Chains A and B, each alone.
Chain A
């Protein structure tokens, strides 16, 4: 894949807009991120205010998505509950990216040398850790309360972000490593060395741009995965703690009402999670198609 210079950003943008699936995905993402970010000013019900007189109301009237078992408005709980999911998704990638890029660049650039072997061996060890289980276990052991790390108070959310972020490092590092290993051998890199550029300069300004396209696609998909992991953790009680709203937590509470017919309690939170992930997947796939047209879309055998 080629690098994406600012001038080419406009071309990519246009291509996305012309791609129906991609623009739909982007629309979903903008809607969800927009609502989540603007939550305080949207004039929603207070997600924490209970109203036992108006409990378990079906969707309609004032409460577009109904109310839960203590009368809280479902819609506003969903909007506020989306925030931790999105934070974890984006945050984990923000942590994993710099570490993964740094490791991948170093290892790939010095491909075949000791640095490469050691770094990629460490990456292999990290990659053999199944994400979900370890997230559950670590949070389970450390507890869901904020813990003190020196002078800092690390919130539960922060713990999860760091944990997932670290476990994202292998997939990012491997991607960058693959590109760096090839590009590091190329003629223009050799030319740059002759020009007197330092290794670090070459890595950052010449090799890194070539990784941007696959990285952007990968990052999109990793954010989606992070959203799912956070929702799963909250679902089993290890993520955001009640009474704070979280999408997974709302689904967990909804379990008590499966048999009694309050369908909106389980339907809407899950729908929002699904839509968010669909949005990321559609957008990411469209990006991949645009940035790497070599992939076969094919016309079939008998078409």
Chain B
């Protein structure tokens, strides 16, 4: 299966994959996004010059360690950046409108109904003193004119859709009365209750047991099919990402270092960071190999000066790496930001 080669400098990718229709229509376009936080007397970038696009129906993975800016990018899309941070530049165009220029009241109607997000820890994400049903009904009624009975019916439908075995009981339960997997399903249910076009999942399985993780991943796949969802899947786990996503964007230190179709990324990773991420994966066919670790730590906020953010930990640096930040260029069908020669 050979993925189609996109023309040079193309802003979006068309994906040919078995069973998936080709959908070149762009749903979300992020352009030169920059999110900064005050640090001392100046600003430090958490997200710096990030541009990408998501096509309708795609499932794109946002990959990186904590501190890479992936969560902050998602929050920027949702308009939920912590109050101390500021969006200093760029645009986020969704369905023809720039979200960053949208007044808050309009943005509120977008959240939860056109774009939704599922957070990492369902226990803390759910209100501890309200029942699941109450929270779900509030969400449904926030975006439509349903009566309470109608909203209740839809809520039960949604809970059934996300695979909860006893929706009526779940409706009456509090978050702490459910198991971790059920809680996450309920949270996902709340996110899709109003049939959003775009669903962002920020590390949705990190707080769960490994067995439950697989179930939730299955759920995402199923929902993607049944609801024609476009998905942004944020994770630091390559395996998980590869199971769901067609494309992946690798972030480090607030910038994109590599992006492309998943198979390309795995077969010919260009960026040293991507390489090391793949190397870190334990391999079933080589159980005796030592677990590789990437030496060093991700950069703290404000610690990145000029040059490539990965330079301190990179095994293949050249002089230029410290001085100038590499721009994204096309290589072997996907985009890479690296001064090193093609691998």
Contacts and interface: CB of A to CB of B under 8 A. Distances in A.
Interface of A: 299-300, 302-303
B84 interface: yes
Nearest to B104: A302
A300 B83 CA distance: 8
Nearest to B84: A299
A153 B83 CA distance: 63
Identify whether the interface residues of A are mostly helix, strand, loop, or mixed: loop
A88 to B, nearest CB: 44
Contacts of A300: 83
Interface string B163-178: 0000000000000000
A299 B84 CA distance: 8
Q: How large is the interface on B (under 10, 10 to 19, 20 to 34, 35 or more residues)?
A: under 10
Contacts of A303: 83
Nearest to A300: B83
Nearest to B82: A299
A71 B84 CA distance: 60
Contacts of B104: 302
Identify whether the interface residues of B are mostly helix, strand, loop, or mixed: loop
A104 B67 CA distance: 44
A263 B104 CA distance: 53
A170 B304 CA distance: 52
A302 B84 CA distance: 11
A110 to B, nearest CB: 35
Contacts of B83: 299-300, 302-303
Ordered nearest first, which 6 A-B pairs have the shortest CB separation?
A: A299-B83, A303-B83, A299-B84, A300-B83, A302-B83, A302-B104
A299 B83 CA distance: 7
A303 B83 CA distance: 6
Interface in B229-277: none
6 contacts: A299-B83, A299-B84, A300-B83, A302-B83, A302-B104, A303-B83
A302 B105 CA distance: 12
A302 B83 CA distance: 7
Interface in B79-94: 83-84
B105 to A, nearest CB: 12
B87 to A, nearest CB: 15
Interface in B115-145: none
Nearest to A299: B83
A178 to B, nearest CB: 25
Contacts of B84: 299
Nearest to A298: B83
Interface string B272-304: 000000000000000000000000000000000
Interface string B50-90: 00000000000000000000000000000000011000000
Contacts of A302: 83, 104
A302 B104 CA distance: 10
A296 to B, nearest CB: 13
A77 to B, nearest CB: 52
Nearest to A301: B83
A69 to B, nearest CB: 58
A212 B83 CA distance: 34
A239 to B, nearest CB: 47
A300 B84 CA distance: 10
A120 B83 CA distance: 44
A303 B104 CA distance: 12
Contacts of A299: 83-84
B75 to A, nearest CB: 15
A297 B104 CA distance: 24
A168 B336 CA distance: 68
A95 B198 CA distance: 66
B90 to A, nearest CB: 22
B107 to A, nearest CB: 12
A302 B81 CA distance: 11
B108 to A, nearest CB: 11
A53 B104 CA distance: 71
B37 to A, nearest CB: 12
B52 to A, nearest CB: 29
A253 to B, nearest CB: 53
A219 to B, nearest CB: 34
A2 to B, nearest CB: 23
A136 B268 CA distance: 86
A188 to B, nearest CB: 28
A303 B84 CA distance: 8
A300 B104 CA distance: 16
A303 B85 CA distance: 11
A134 B84 CA distance: 50
Nearest to A303: B83
A299 B104 CA distance: 18
B102 to A, nearest CB: 15
A110 B83 CA distance: 45
A220 B49 CA distance: 51
B114 to A, nearest CB: 21
A302 B82 CA distance: 10
